Amino acid sequence: MDCDSDALRFVVRQTGFGFCHNNTWSCFGPTGGLPALMRTLEERKLNAPPGSYTDRLYKDDQLLNAKLMEEAKELCEAESKDEVTWEAADLLYFALVKCAKAGLL
């Protein structure tokens, strides 16, 4: 409950493939975007094609850390709207790989 007891907060960690009785993540149609990327990264953690870039990132801490630092620096240096968009997307990808690797997704 919050401080004046007029709201409840629930934090749910979904496990398994589906929440809905149709064995999907949502009862409200297909989900895409960030949730889809997170599911893909979690699946790749278990079944990445051997030698794929994501597989290499999961297996090589130094490579993943170097990419995180590189993309963070490039995002800091980005100036145009397009550059910021591209670098933020790159950084987000590597950050989510790190999260998945740590078991946070």
Domain that holds residue 62: 33-101
Q: Is residue 17 part of a domain?
A: no
Q: Is residue 92 part of a domain?
A: yes
Which of 25, 52, 56 shows the shortest CA–CA distance to 38?
A: 25
| Comparison of pLDDT for 73 and 24, the residue scoring more | 73
Q: Is residue 27 part of a domain?
A: no
Give the model confidence (pLDDT) of 39-70 as tens digits.
888 888 888 888 899 999 999 999 999 999 99
Encode 29-43: b = buried (16+ Cβ within 10 Å), e = exposed: eeeeeeeeeeeebbe
Q: Is residue 7 part of a domain?
A: no
